[in-house]
Amino acid sequence: MSSSSQSSKLNTRKVLSEDNWTKLNAVLQPLLLTDEIIDKIRAAFSDQMHLANSTDENVRKTSDHLMMNTFIRELLDGTEQGDFLGLDLGGTNFRVVLVRFKDGVADTVTQYYNLTDETLSGPAAGVFDFIAESIQDFLVKQGLDKSEQKIPLGFTFSFPSTQLALNKSILLTWTKTFKCPDGVGEDPVAMLEAAIERKTKNLPVDIVVVMSDTVSTLMAGNYLDKKCRVGLILGTGCNAAFVENISDIDKWTGDYNDPKHVIVNVELGSTGDNGCMDFCRSEYEKEVDQFSNHPGSFTFEKSFSGMYLGELVRLVLVRLIKDGTLFNGKAEKLIEGRWKFTTSHVTDIESDAGESQENTKNVLKKFGLDSGVTDEDIAIVREVCEFISRRGAHIIAAGMSVLINYIRLPEVTIGIDGSLYEKHPKFHDSMMEIFERFSPNTKVKMILAKDGSGQGAAFAAVSALRQLAKGIRCS
């Protein structure tokens, strides 16, 4: 009964009565992702990429993807030398990273700094002033504040932006905990440079590249594995970047010299906002969207990402409770607790191995479901968690298989960061099922590039310097 016609690895059928098995099937069967549906998802994803790559701006506007040129063309090759800085800004905590390369081997020092609520809601200049002072504090501690040579710095700026050059972008909107009344429409690199001039004059840094966390994750993955050509964020939200062949980019305006590829930031979380994925959206995904903070947007993410996976599972469980299949029709906290059943709960339940019920029972206790819970109830909960998780993994992997096939290499590694991929015990294997069937000509490997966006920013600074030295166009 599991998605993409794969049989369940649980023994649910043996535990359930004929009646409950039939009822469970009736709820899950409409959610099945057949190979035909997976192919349609892949085709829709590919269509959005083609539209976003068009030379016609009006055509590009019809796409749910951005397919943004990052201007990063050089990857790591194992010969790197010297000191590089990485800055990772994407939440209340941000980090400054020093990477010291010797013969391609990186020695990394990281320090975290905290932005206050007052700073997060004040003028943007206050945010960048604090960052500049934090960089100075870090350099003093590392004995580099008096460096005679400027240290190249890569800046991971994890907010929706339009990339204009290797070290220039335009902020489209603040997200997460940032509520600054200004800064939108400005260049974060220019804002940081102004703060350095204002607060820490003569700070020996040179901001040579700005990027999203997905791009820096790809760079971190490329350090771990030189065959890494895809970066994927798979946590609360989702995005991907990949190394695309310049010959496949219709809107390319740069040169065609070596290297004949460039990292492209897909911005895929909104795939389906224009309706292209309506054919596979279930009633549960539509309800998640209706009650989310951003109805009508980030449609793709709402099928699998960490922000939404738990709620998807809860809605299916509520359906089974209301028809009397589960918990004898009584489970008020689950029925009324919108957003209370989280992806962490799903991950805990999915961590029960074999016949074990311990984690599942512990999760159910948190919802007042202790006494009276039967083996059938537990089997149904486990089946729904596995089914919805696997379905989600297949959806994101379907999109990734399109990128893999675009790259056209015999072996491709995907560098992944994010709590969903890291903590869910079955997501990796479920994604691999899709790659084996839909990217048969490429040996796909997935690796965890944990917290890669700080280190990856420093690695991108290496790329930027190499490109400048070679005269590769960077804007």
Phi, psi at 181, each rounded to 5°:
-75, -10
Q: Which helix (H) or strand (E) holds 261?
A: strand 261-265
Task: State the DSSP H helix or E strand holding residue 224, giving kind and residue range, or none if neither.
Answer: helix 213-224
pLDDT of residue 168: 97
What CA–CA distance (Å, rounded) separates 292 from 214?
23
Query: Domain locations in the chain?
Result: 16-70+217-449, 73-211
* pLDDT at residue 8 in the model: 59
**Positions marked active-site:** 176, 213
State how far the Cα of 127 lies from the Cα of 108, in Å rounded to an integer: 25
Q: Are 247 and 264 in contact (CB under 8 A)?
A: no
CA distance 301 to 290: 14
* Domain 16-70+217-449 matches domain 73-211 at the CATH topology level: no
CATH topology of domain 73-211: Nucleotidyltransferase; domain 5 (3.30.420)
pLDDT in tens, 85-144: 999 998 888 999 999 999 999 999 999 999 999 999 999 999 999 999 999 999 999 999
From the options 2.102.10.10, 3.40.367.20, 1.50.40.10, 3.40.50.300, give the CATH code of 16-70+217-449. Answer: 3.40.367.20
Contact 246, 261 (CB under 8 A): yes
Look at the chain and count its residues: 475
What dihedral angle (degrees, nearest 10) is formed by the CA atoms of 465, 158, 50, 185?
-90
pLDDT of residue 131: 97
**pLDDT for 4 beyond 80:** no
φ, ψ for residue 256, nearest 5 deg: -110, 20
The confidence band for 13, taking pLDDT boundaries of 50, 70 and 90, is confident
Mean predicted lDDT score pLDDT of the chain: 95
